Amino acid sequence: MAIERTFSIIKPDATRRNLTGKINAKLEGAGLRIVAQRRVWMTTAQAEQFYGVHRERPFFRDLVTFMTSGPVVVQVLEGENAVAANREVMGATNPANAAEGTIRKEFAESIEANSVHGSDSAENAATEIAYFFAGTDIVG
Q: Which residues are catalytic?
A: 117
Distance CA 79, CA 5 (A): 7
Cα Dmax for the chain:
39
Examine residue 114 and tell whether it contacts ligand CMP (CB under 6 A). Answer: yes
Examine residue 112 and tell whether it contacts ligand CMP (CB under 6 A). Answer: yes
- Kindly determine how many residues on this chain lie close enough to bind ligand CMP according to the rule CB under 6 A: 8
Q: Which stretch binds ligand CMP (CB under 6 A): 32-40, 71-79, 106-114, 123-131?
A: 106-114
- For residues 79 and 91, which CB has a smaller minimum distance to ligand CMP in the complex? 91
In a 13 Å sphere around the CA of 8, the CA atoms on its Cβ side amount to 35
Asked if 104 and 116 touch (Cβ cutoff 8 Å), the reply is: yes
Asked if 60 and 33 touch (Cβ cutoff 8 Å), the reply is: no
Q: How far is the CB of 139 from ligand CMP (least distance, A)?
A: 25
Bridge-based pairing state of the strands 116-118 and 3-10: antiparallel
Report the candidate in 19, 29, 30 with the shortest Cα–Cα distance to residue 82. 30
Q: Which stretch binds ligand CMP (CB under 6 A): 20-28, 81-89, 108-116, 128-136?
A: 108-116
Q: How far is the CB of 110 from ligand CMP (least distance, A)?
A: 8
Q: How far is the CB of 3 from ligand CMP (least distance, A)?
A: 23
Q: Which residue number is nearest to ligand CMP in terms of Cβ?
A: 117
Single-letter amino acid, residue 15: T
Summarize as ranges the residues that interact with ligand CMP (CB under 6 A).
54, 59, 63, 93, 111-112, 114, 117
